Amino acid sequence: MGTNALKGSLYVQNAKEISYNRGVAIMIGDIVKYASKRVSTFGKWFSNSKSEEMKSFLKNLLFDIDKNHRKEDRYEEDGQYFQSYKWLHNENFESDKFLHLMRWKIKPSDVYRKLTSNIPFNPEGIALDLGCALGLSTIELAKKFSFVFGIDSSFSFIREAKKKTSELGVTNIEFIVSDILDLPFRIKYLTLYLG
C-alpha cells in the first residue's frame, strides 16, 4: 500500500491506489473511474469487506463515484460475458453446442495447452499474460516459467482465476486487476508477453 511499493520483482511506481479486496490485487491508476463503470461490483466489494479500514476506504470513494453510470463492464459478474465464459471454461464445455456440432472432443484447456506448446520451458523466466480472463492461458504458462503475472481489468474474472489456481494448487502465478493499456508498474526481466 502506498505511492511506491515493491512486491517481489514487481516495481510499482506512482500508483495512485493499491488496495486488496478479498485477496485480489487491484492496481488501477484511476480507481474512481474504474468503479464508476462497475457500480454493482463496487457494491459487492463494500458488502464483502471484512475490515473497517477497507470499508472506510471504499466509503470515501463513494462520494466521487458516478452512480448514474449504467454501462457496466461486460466481463464483470453481472455483465454480458461473465456467465458464458465461466460456464464454458469450467465443467460445462462438453455441452457446448458449437463444439458438439463440430464433433470435437476438445476442452478449452486443450486449446490453451496447444497455444503454449511451442513455448520453450524456461525455469528462470517470468511471463506476463495480458487480458488473462479466467486464467486458463496463465495456468499453462505457469508450467513453462518460474513465475507468471496474469493481468485483466475485470475484478470478477481475476477473482475466478484466483479461485481456480488455488483449487489446482498452483503457486507461481500472481493475478492482478489492472488496465493493460496503462499499467502502473514495470516488471523487470520479463521473458514473454502473451496477449
Ligand X SMILES: C[S@@+](CC[C@H](N)C(=O)[O-])C[C@H]1O[C@@H](n2cnc3c(N)ncnc32)[C@H](O)[C@@H]1O
Residue 27's beta-bridge partner residues?
A: 18
**Residue 154, interface with ligand X (CB under 6 A)?**
yes
C-alpha distances in Å from residue 155, one per residue of 18, 27, 41, 95, 190: 14, 11, 8, 27, 24
Among 19, 21, 116, 137, binds ligand X (CB under 6 A): 137
3-state secondary structure 55-101: HHHHHHHHCCCCCCCCCCCCCCCCCCCHHHHHHHHCCCHHHCHHHHH
Distance CA 129, CA 144 (A): 13
Residue 131 interacts with ligand X (CB under 6 A)? Answer: yes
- As measured in angstroms, the least distance from the Cβ of 56 to ligand X is 28
- Identify the residue among 32, 96, 179, 190 touching ligand X (CB under 6 A): 179
Are the CB atoms for 168 and 19 separated by under 8 Å?
no
Least spacing, CB of residue 85 vs ligand X, in Å = 8
Q: What is the DSSP letter of 123?
A: E
Closest-approach residue to ligand X (CB): 131
Q: Does 71 bind ligand X (CB under 6 A)?
A: no
CA distance 178 to 175: 9
Minimum CB separation from ligand X for residue 121, in Å? 21
> Which lies closer to ligand X via its Cβ, residue 170 or residue 180?
180
What minimum distance in Å lies between the beta carbon of 28 and ligand X?
10
Residue 59 or residue 186: which is nearer to ligand X going by CB? 186
Site residue total, ligand X (CB under 6 A): 14
* CA 69 vs CA 7, 26, 179: distances in Å: 34, 21, 19
35, 128, 133, 142: residue in contact with ligand X (rule CB under 6 A)? 133
Residue 18, phi then psi, degrees to nearest 5: -125, 115
Q: Does 152 bind ligand X (CB under 6 A)?
A: yes
**Contacts with ligand X, residue ranges (CB under 6 A):** 75, 131-133, 136-137, 151-154, 157, 179-181
